[in-house]
Structure 1
């Protein structure tokens, strides 16, 4: 998934849960979910592609070995500060990123691609492009997967606008 799709996916999950639970979403929850959706790529891509200290752009921060303890830590700190909903939003955003990176392999049941979730205990799946990030973005072709991701990002953007302009029942609180 692309960064904007990860953000839209995590955001939409948070809004859907808020609607189902009949509760408002705070701005800090929105920030937590969006930041958490970006952490795995912000950590792994530069360390793998530019500094070459990781074996793959899906290894350290994409691993449950880091994701679970980090999410538990953020949840514990948020709970201690009397805002567990922010910790839960963070955990949801992080989990949505990992789910977003596995949806294609899940759909086609290519279990060998899930190994990055257990790195360093399992090998990181070698999926990385050979070009740099700018070459990857420039080479994007409108395939079914890319169209799906663009559609999801567009829906996320529209829901975001509606969320702030027209939906007081989930409008962010301070």
Structure 2
């Protein structure tokens, strides 16, 4: 999944949770936390890759061997400080990132690219890029994962806007 789509997916997932748990759109702070947590694996892995510390752009931050302990620690600290909802937001945001990176590889049959899930125990090859999903009947156009990601991105932004843009006041001066 393209890095710009992950925060939107994180928001969508947290918004579903907030509506289920509270019956209303997400509060601002946990929404912002979920959005940042959803971006975190790429914010960690891409710089490591670009400066040559790791061999590919999906390693440490995308590995369940790193993610699960990190999320558990954050949740325990948040719980200890009476901010469990922030721990939940981190778990949902971070988890949505990793979960959203899996389907494209499965649909394309590129199972070997799922090595990021247990990196460094498993090998992670260079990401092969956009995956084909099929051909649009009658038009001869090839539909790719980018099309579906564009729909997810627009739908997520529309929901976030409809919800009053929670989290935005956290970045305004």
Shorter-chain TM-score: which interval?
Answer: 0.7 to 0.9
Counterpart in 2 of 1:64? Answer: 64
Corresponding position: 1:18 with 2:18: yes
> Aligned ranges for residues 1-174 of structure 1 at < 5 Å?
1-24=1-24, 25-48=26-49, 50-127=50-127, 143-164=143-164
Consecutive unaligned residues of structure 2, counting only runs of 5 or more, are 130-141
Shift of 1:109: 4.4
Quote the offset at 1:112 in angstroms.
1.6
Query: What is the TM-score of this pair, normalised by structure 1?
Result: 0.81
How big is each residue's C-alpha offset from its partner over 1:29-88, in whole Å with a ceiling of 9 and x where there is no partner? 11111111111111111111x211101100111101110011011101110110111101
Greater strand share, structure number:
2
User: Is the contact made by 2:34 and 2:93 (CA closer than 8 Å) also made in structure 1?
Assistant: yes
On the 8 A contact 2:112/2:124 being kept in 1, the answer is: no
- Matches of 2:15 and 2:159 in 1, distance apart? 9
For structure 1, which runs of at least 5 residues remain unmatched after alignment?
A: 130-141, 166-170
1:76–1:87 Cα contact (<8 Å) kept: yes
RMSD over aligned Cα, in angstroms?
A: 2.2
What stretches of structure 1 move > 6 A for 4+ residues in a row? none
> Could you tell me the TM-score, scaled by structure 2's length?
0.81
Q: Which moved more, 1:81-90 or 1:107-116?
A: 107-116
